[in-house]
Structure 1
């Protein structure tokens, strides 16, 4: 689950959740813009710049392919996001080279994703 100290950022026009501002403890007043599932979208910066990053990115990251790292497997598995909420992330297998699950198999991940997911 997304920590309560992360500030939600909603698009002004329709109030859609675009992501969060994750505070940087070592640098007061600085934040890391992150996706709705906690993946960093930029470097630590001032609040207004972090919000600008979220506005620029929008929800485009939901449409791209991602790589999922699984325990005991050296190669990441190609996946697509099915559902992203502050509680969990559901991704489906699109990797024909992954023999342990059928194409379309859905993995449910806790958020924030802690290094498990990377853009493809």
Structure 2
């Protein structure tokens, strides 16, 4: 896996990782940003959408139900979220999801 950083300040934007003969663009917490493609195209995708996608609405799966949320913090191993769904049954400000993947965490 290779880090992709912003040129001007070195901020981590995401990663790319080998996927057969291609490269897969990933968020800072390893969530796929799209289909595998050339190394240059994958790097460009991370530059273009790596941080922007973190500001979108997301959903997390709990007890068989999908609930809307927003990302508060994102790191390589975990994502801290705030549930933003009136149907969510627990009164919590934030939850930490360890290594979320498309089967349990997705953006709208």
Normalised TM-score (structure 1): 0.82
SS at match of 1:39: coil
Residue 18 of structure 2: which of 10, 15, 23 is its match?
Answer: 23
Instruction: Please identify which structure carries the higher strand content.
Output: 2
SS at match of 2:86: coil
- In the alignment, is residue 76 of structure 1 matched against residue 69 of structure 2? no
- Structure 2: gaps (5+ residues): none
Q: Supply the RMSD in Å over aligned alpha carbons.
A: 1.3
In structure 1, the residue matched to 2:29 is 37
Residue 82 of structure 2: which of 80, 87, 92 is its match?
Answer: 92
Distance 1:37 1:86 in 2: 4
Runs of 4+ in 1 over 6 A off after TM superposition: none
SS at match of 2:33: coil
Report Cα offsets for 1:75-102 as digits up to 9, x if no partner.
Answer: 2011100100113110011111112x12
- Structure 1: gaps (5+ residues): 1-5
Residue 11 of structure 1: which of 3, 6, 15 is its match?
Answer: 6
Figure out how many residues of one structure are paired with residues of the other and give that number: 107
In structure 2, the residue matched to 1:3 is none
